[in-house]
Structure 1
Amino acid sequence: MKHVKILSITLSLMLLFVACKQEKDVKKQEEETASFEPISNEILESSVIYEANIRQYSPEGTFSEFTKDIPQLKELGVKVIWLMPIYPISMKNRKATPDLSIEDIEDPKEKEKYLGSYYAISDYTAINPEFGSMEDFENLVETAHDNGMYVILDWVANHTGWDHKWIEEHPEYYHKNKDGEVTDPINPDTGETWGWTDVAHLNYENDSLWTAMKDEMVYWVKEKNIDGFRCDVAGNVTTDFWNFVVPELKKEKPVFMLAESEDKDLFYQAFDMGYNWEGHHIMNEIAQGEMSVKDWDDYMTKIDTTYQEDDYLMNFITNHDENSWNGTFDERMGSASEAMLAFTYALPGMPLIYSGQEYGMDKRLKFFEKDSIPKSKGEFWNVHVKLGELKNQLKPLNGGKEAASYERITTTNDENIIAFEREKEGKKLIYVANFSEDPQDFKFSISGKFQDMMTSDDIELKTDQLHNFEPWEYKILSDR
């Protein structure tokens, strides 16, 4: 009897301990959830965005392997993770090369290596099994949130893969040719195919499609707690659809919307940020000696009149399209790469890091096959860490809807030297660089004591001082 009493007391104590522990775990989880703020314009002002190519991020190509590295992305100042499409890829008409489909490959073994384009989606609310399970994806999102980062999904509203159930169940959702056949996307300017033969073109003249697509997008926000979308070829989808769907998403929670477009109409209501494609191409041309600083100045004058004051763009030296189709940043920018990287952080807007860029990746990643990025941390990693720290901490680098001002500083050599000042809340920062392949002398009317933010050296500038910069030399100077 005594033993029974002792056993009863022991069991009671154990149950009490378990109950207390569960209560503490729930309380801790509630506190962590409460401490993670919904995404906001204020947070985005100082954000770096990271484009995650899950297939190529690791030899395994899985969510789990990427999730392991999320904590170290904090070292790079990353606050937003953009996942390239994570959905199942259609087998029908699957791309093997830019010119060949899987049906053109006869050897079964050869066929196995062609995984197709991420942008040929067969199911908007499922996970590509190559990457892992839905549980693995949920863990990725939770880990990002635990580390103070937000997750946005790549969304392809313009087209589906040819295996998507809508092809059979809702053919009215698609564009058709004169024979009533569903078509791949057609260039409206030329009437010719874009060459995206692995996808079928959706037709937004059908109102039922709007509701169906909205439901697919709401699923990820409501059920999987993601924080927004990067929308592929957003300008090819009617602006009215985006203006309809974004408020529906925001009924669930605040979301961040990135358009792969420079179409200013998209920013009036729907999108927070667009692509700085034109600026990127000018950077390439300057690096290659085909354009000069004057071309950049003309571009900045143009966008001042083109966009609203609270519009902003994503700045980049590379992304998945540029890397695979136009070459690595080293191929396109060469010895100008670091100066251009720092430029993307110093400009108004948000800087992008594409998977592998942080490691100084010097190869073009395969697009339709398995590949893998390098993972050896070198000087380029260190530069990214420093620039990320500056972006996160310095108000003059704010780049969102309440961006710090941008004012060009005149020099005695404006053909080759670019200098500008950013200012916010009384704090100033100067970016100055030699955008040429030759040493350059110049003077500018800036005086005072500054800190070189990349080296932590103290610098005193005088108005009559002659400066000499080596090719592609740059400085980020703060008055703090």
Structure 2
Amino acid sequence: MRKKWWQKEIVYQIYPRSFKDSNNDGIGDINGITEKIPYLSKLGITMIWICPIYKSPMVDNGYDISDYDDINPEFGSLEDLDYLFETAHKYGIKIMLDLVINHTSDEHEWFKEAINNPESKYRDYYIFKEGINGNPPNNWRSIFGGSVWEKVPDEDMYYLHVFDKKQPDLNFENPELREEIYHMINGWLEKGLAGFRIDSITFLKKDQDYSSLPADGPDGLVTCKFKTRNRPGIEKFLHELKEKTFDKFDCVTVGEAPGVQYDELDEFIGENGYFSMIFDFKYADIDVESGSDWFKRTNWTTKELRNLIFNSQEALQKVGWGASFIENHDQPRAVSKFIKNTKYQNYIGASALGILYFFLRGTPFIYQGQEIGMKNFERDSIEAFNDISSIDNYERSLQEGYTEKEALNFVNLRSRDNTRTPMQWDSEENAGFSEATPWLALNDDFKTINVQDQIADSNSLLHFYEDMIHLRNDSRYSNTLIYGDFKADKETQDNIISYYRISDNENIQIIVNLSDQNEKIKLQSNDIKVLLHNYKNTKLNGTDINLRPYEALVIKLNEI
């Protein structure tokens, strides 16, 4: 494919509530992000993606928007955002915002008018259906649990919410609603925004029969995904969205596109695809059978993870570009999820994961705190959780027959709060995040895992991430590591994940032992140069490398 500017970017995802609090109210804010731009610049990132900062009652931490054109006061003001744009620009850092257009908050003026005045045009901006014999219109279960339908007071009508009941879905069948959305998007892009990460975009189209399906749980409901995610007809909405907004700007668009099959990727990220790139969750969700059913755990193996990564890379490479990640605001911490032996949930394990994903073909995304190896917490009560999906999954686990202890364990392992705990800047009170009590309890390991200590330690994970970024973006090997082809190495031991990045005159191999066992791998050549390594030295014996637990390295093969 033709080279695009966004293929070279290194994106750093910021969860604004938890990044840095500048006014000591316990909540992170826009000025806190501005304060840390020099830190991000030193790390080497080139773009930040900021989770929603729009006006919102914060039921789903900003993914329930009540005003697309204004900033939530807890984050600051539009003037603060302008200053962030100005500061980031001085450091050569671009800014991408979240775009949430599948649903709004129930406190959005459109929805309030739709509820208060059934005859208004805004009733058709959302999805309302009559009940059936005093019951909801069908048996679909929302992503966060419970029915997708919420009854309208004093009417035999229900409105649809694929997510929380305070997040009513917009009706994209309505062309007037679509035009309002396009106008809003173009307004943001005209401000100089680099682009958008687009939330839950594959849910825009709903099957218009709104029929029930056989129940798949003891609650008598069935997941709504079969009728609301990536459904036939969505292509009309996505083509129009691109044509009337993104195509007018040289912007980047990153789709959160669950439910997209590999044989559909050309439509999404091909030469004329809807988006620049998409996230593929097939390997990220390896620890559960379903991303929304946390009690359905899997006992995954490295070989299974390897196959999922290889399948993803090969499918993406055929048609376009991907967004490489191991953490985000909806996932648990990678070191806690992927490093099974807790002894290695440290620099060694975290750096192995870094090498594993960072050099895949695609634009790398780093989630805040990932660069210092932040880990999952363990809460001892469901009352300690803020995340609405954690609370819903706890209740669903109980309905499925699990004990309170088992249900709490599922939630601790998978809670979205794991990556939403405040950023750990130093070892002082509240981890340097705020002088006030943070909105969400800290992980109690901040005294040993924090930015300040790792800046001072030349052998820290933070500096390792700086080295990875430099190797990919600013070294003599950058052309191969950014634009080179991906080739899977399928002949290794089951605990090893190895692949190549290949250009016309260069072959670079990435090798990761994702286990706590010693393993061996045979190289194509013993004439190699080690470009990056997470142990002190390489144990090379001819063409054989003896890999220690969670050992990872990037090597240039001088003979192919």
Q: TM-score w.r.t. structure 1 length?
A: 0.75
Alpha-carbon spacing, 1:53–1:371, altered in 2? closer, same or farther (3 Å):
same
| Matched residue SS, 1:387 | helix
2:17 paired residue number: 55
Question: Alignment partner of 1:340: what SS?
Answer: helix
Matched residue, 1:343: 356
Q: Superposition pairs for residues 61-210 of structure 1, below 5 Å?
A: 61-90=28-57, 95=59, 117-167=61-111, 168=113, 170-179=122-131, 192-193=147-148, 194-210=162-178
Task: Identify if the C-alpha distance between structure 1 residues 204 and 186 changes in structure 2 by more than 3 Å, giving closer, same or farther.
Answer: farther
SS in 1 for 2:284: helix
Gaps in structure 2 of 5+ consecutive residues: 23-27, 114-119, 149-161, 205-233, 290-296, 378-384, 389-416, 426-449, 455-459
Distance 1:188 1:135 in 2: 37
Give 5+ residue unaligned stretches, structure 1.
Answer: 1-39, 96-115
Aligned pair in 2 of structure 1 residues 446, 204: CA closer, same or farther (>3 Å)? same
Decide whether the 8 Å contact of 1:183 with 1:200 is kept in 2: no
RMSD between aligned residues: 3.4
Distance 1:450 1:309 in 2: 29
| Whole-angstrom distance in 2 between the partners of 1:442 and 1:52 | 38
Letter aligned with residue 174 of structure 1: Y
Tell me the CA shift for residue 172 of structure 1. 0.6
Residues of 2 paired with 1:443 and 1:208: CA distance?
Answer: 61
More helix by share: 1
Residue equivalent to 2:329: 320
1 or 2 for the larger relative contact order (CA 8 Å, sep ≥6)?
A: 1
SS at match of 2:196: strand
Q: How many residues are treated as equivalent by the alignment? A: 405
CA deviation profile, 1:408-428 (whole Å, cap 9, x unmatched) = 3355x4212222210124232
Give the 3 Å change call, closer, same or farther, for CA 391–88 of structure 1 in structure 2.
Answer: same
> Cα offset for 1:188?
8.8
Alignment of 1:173-322 (within 5 A): 173-179=125-131, 192-193=147-148, 194-222=162-190, 224-237=191-204, 238-250=234-246, 252-262=248-258, 263=260, 264=265, 265-268=267-270, 269-282=273-286, 290-300=299-309, 302-303=311-312, 306-307=315-316, 309-322=318-331
Q: Distance in 2 between matches of 1:343 and 1:283?
A: 17
Alignment-derived partner of residue 99 in structure 1: none
- Separation of aligned partners in 2, 1:247 and 1:341: 36
Moved beyond 6 Å, runs of 4+: 180-185, 188-191, 455-462
The amino acid that maps onto 2:268 is: L
Deviates further, 153-162 or 289-298: 289-298
Q: Output the amino acid matched with 2:308.
A: Y
Quote the offset at 1:345 in angstroms: 0.7
Work out the CA distance in 1 between the residues paired with 2:53 and 2:185. Answer: 13
Q: Where do residues 427-438 of structure 1 align in structure 2 (5 Å cutoff)?
A: 427-438=506-517
TM-score, length of structure 2 as denominator length = 0.65
Deviations 1:382-417 (A, max 9, x none): 12111111221312221xxxx311123355x42122
CA contact (8 A) 1:274 1:313 kept: yes
Secondary structure of the equivalent of 1:348?
Answer: coil
Partner residue, 1:409: 489
Which amino acid in structure 2 is aligned with residue 248 of structure 1? K
* In structure 2, C-alpha distance between the alignment counterparts of 1:374 and 1:467, rounded to whole Å: 36
Report the Cα offset of residue 251 of structure 1: 5.5
List per-residue Cα deviations over 1:32-57 (Å, max 9, x = no partner): xxxxxxxx953322221111111111
Preserved CA contact (<8 Å) 1:449 1:461 = no
C-alpha contact (below 8 Å) 2:20/2:29 kept by paired residues:
yes
Bigger Cα Rg? 1
Residue 443 (structure 1) aligned with residue 522 (structure 2): yes
CA distance in 2, matches of 1:452, 1:433: 14
Paired position in structure 1 for 2:155: none
Distance 1:173 1:308, change over 3 A: farther
Q: Which amino acid aligns with 1:142?
A: E
